[in-house]
Structure 1
Amino acid sequence: MSVQSRINGELGRRLDDGFTAAAISFGTGLVLLAVALAISPRGRAGFGGVGRALRERTLSWWMLLGGLAGAFLVLSQGLTAALLGVALFTVAIVAGQTVSGLVIDLIGLGPGGRHPITGPRVVGASLALAAVTIAVSAQLTAGVEIWWVLMPLIAGLGTGWQQAVNGRVRVAASSALTSTFLNFVSGTVVLVIAAVVHVAVAGPPEAFPAEPWLYVGGALGCVFIAGTAVIVRRTGVLLLSLATIAGQLASALALDLLLPVPGRHVDAATTVGTLLAFIAVVVASGRPSFLRLGFRRGS
């Protein structure tokens, strides 16, 4: 997800048009998924399962619109990732994921049903939010507009909802390919419309860059959406969100250190916030015995 943020952010910067960059990302992903469906009988059969679930009302029609949240996430990548730096962008996403994960697990929207709010989960979520506060405060003093931080924060809130409903669709279809395709259909439609309107108002984007790697963001999104649709049933939304944080933040910091954005640098606040968010994953899992008030024999 961090690599996707860097790619989509750079494409948006090169085109000087984050809307077109987002539409390209989702559109290329949709094409790849359509090809996969053409050679996958199980994936095509999944549509029948979704249809039955809709008729039996075990699946609501609005659960097919998870791609709208994904579209907003990719749009925020194209508009803000290059400005904020991948590390700060990812930390803001984490804050939204954490809050939505707690709420969605509590109401039982995900395919795994309700997950109670326990001490470790609350502490882990609080640590993640504290990590965001630390990291964002330093960057805001460097002249970053609050809007650019709020956009990925809201996108993170939507990501939790997206993971829950995509997981529900995946269960109904018995195919991650089917649920991922439906996710990309709704997202692509919205982003193409937004890109067309933006071009009509602001004019066409800059010349399309020739580097092939700038167009693989959609493929990375396919892998991420399919993976989360499978895993969320077992983990719940909160633990899934926090478990992905470790990989996201580690790779985000590596990208900002090894391939820095001109004019941006990784400061101490961002580093400390990232480490604290990593600790939040461990705490929320409830695994480490030293975090408990007592010890069970054999633990």
Structure 2
Amino acid sequence: MTPAGSASDHPARSPAVWLGLLLVMLAAGMAIPGQGRINAELSAHTGDPYLSALISFVTGLLLVCLIALCAPAGRRAVSRVVPAFRSGAVKWWYLLAGCVGGYFVLTQTLTIGMIGVAVFTVAVVTGQTIGGLLWDRIGLGPAGRRRISPMRVLGAALTVLAVLWAVSPQLAGADRGLLWLLLVILPFSGGFLNAAQQAVNGHQAAAYRSPIPATLFNFAAGSALLLLVWLGKLLLAGGVPGELPTVWWYYIGGPLGVVFIALGAVLVTKVGVLIAAMGMIAGQLLGSLLLDLLVPAPGSMVTAATVLGTVMTLLAVVVASLPDLMRGRGPGGR
């Protein structure tokens, strides 16, 4: 873990470089709505959300295994794993980061039907932004400790408000009892831990000089956890899965998850946990908006609040990034 004292210890980047990184953040985040839509279709077909989550992780694992074993860059990256462990650059518990992904999928499966997609999204984003601030502050990410500046706090607050605004048309009519509150805590904790997962993945990506091994370990750990959960569900509730669908695109949810995990692992080494989380949140909203416009699902709606809230998330990323952009423009820039 880098013993940096504050964000000012990190090099400034030009606006052009930050724009490029923002585009990568958006691309990573846009993979998640597509994955969610595909997994929902697979779950509806199989009648088993636990099985659909397991299939998503296993297909992602198979893809990463193929890359790690067949691509020269993948083999070189895997060869650096043992030296990284021996040097102490990677701790054994980093390999458990993928369990967070499995936990996140479980919170999605267990809560969305009762609290709705909108509340789930707000809870996750709030957890991700608070987690991003905290993990950056304590230095969990590969960039070391980053100061909680007013602009970063403002950007984080704008992100939560933007998402709340974007999903506000879907928030009416929620039953807000004690059970509702307890259910909201699950996706909040999933988002909070997801920010830590990205930080740990960033450490691995930096140590291996590639995101491939970290992505492989993430999908292996997540698949193992979801397999245990699914087998436990079969033992307790019974029910043998029916015939799997033959539609090919039902199985690309895992590869989309690979895009999210791999790009996220690289991004936190470049911009820190908070900015990476905020940029990918903006990408998630943008991806959801595009899906609702181009391939609308039953019950989906696009309103002015949805569009303006999505735009506001992009503004929030810019606001939180301003200290890094301004630092190189003269002494005392930060």
Q: Which category describes the TM-score, using the shorter chain as reference length?
A: 0.7 to 0.9
Counterpart Cα distance in 2 of 1:252 and 1:148: 23
Counterpart Cα distance in 1 of 2:120 and 2:292: 11
Show the counterpart of 2:14. Answer: none
Is structure 2 residue 160 aligned with structure 1 residue 125?
no
The 8 Å contact of residues 7 and 217 in structure 1, kept in 2 or not, is answered as yes
Is structure 2 residue 187 aligned with structure 1 residue 152?
yes
Could you tell which deviates more after superposition, 127-136 or 177-186?
127-136
TM-score (norm 2): 0.76
Report deviation, 1:5: 1.5
Show the counterpart of 2:265. Answer: 229
Could you tell which deviates more after superposition, 46-55 or 183-192?
46-55
Counterpart Cα distance in 1 of 2:181 and 2:300: 17
1:109 is aligned, of 129, 140, 144, to 140
The 8 Å contact of residues 118 and 171 in structure 2, kept in 1 or not, is answered as no
Counterpart Cα distance in 2 of 1:284 and 1:71: 29
Report deviation, 1:184: 1.0
SS of the equivalent of 1:113 reads coil
Report deviation, 1:270: 4.7
Could you tell which deviates more after superposition, 69-78 or 55-64?
69-78
Structure 1 residues not aligned, in runs of 5+: none
Show the counterpart of 2:131. Answer: 100
1:174 is aligned, of 206, 209, 212, to 209
1:187 is aligned, of 219, 222, 238, to 222
Report deviation, 1:266: 4.3
In the alignment of these two chains, the number of paired residues is 294
Show the counterpart of 2:55. Answer: 24
Structure 2 residues not aligned, in runs of 5+: 1-31
TM-score (norm 1): 0.84
The 8 Å contact of residues 8 and 21 in structure 1, kept in 2 or not, is answered as yes
Report deviation, 1:32: 1.1
The 8 Å contact of residues 9 and 77 in structure 1, kept in 2 or not, is answered as no
Report deviation, 1:283: 1.4
Counterpart Cα distance in 2 of 1:32 and 1:39: 11
Show the counterpart of 2:29. Answer: none
Q: 1:155 to 1:42 in 2, by over 3 A?
A: same
Q: 1:140 to 1:146 in 2, by over 3 A?
A: farther
The 8 Å contact of residues 10 and 78 in structure 1, kept in 2 or not, is answered as no
Report deviation, 1:271: 4.8
Is structure 2 residue 309 aligned with structure 1 residue 278?
no
Counterpart Cα distance in 2 of 1:136 and 1:286: 27
| Percent sequence identity over aligned pairs | 43
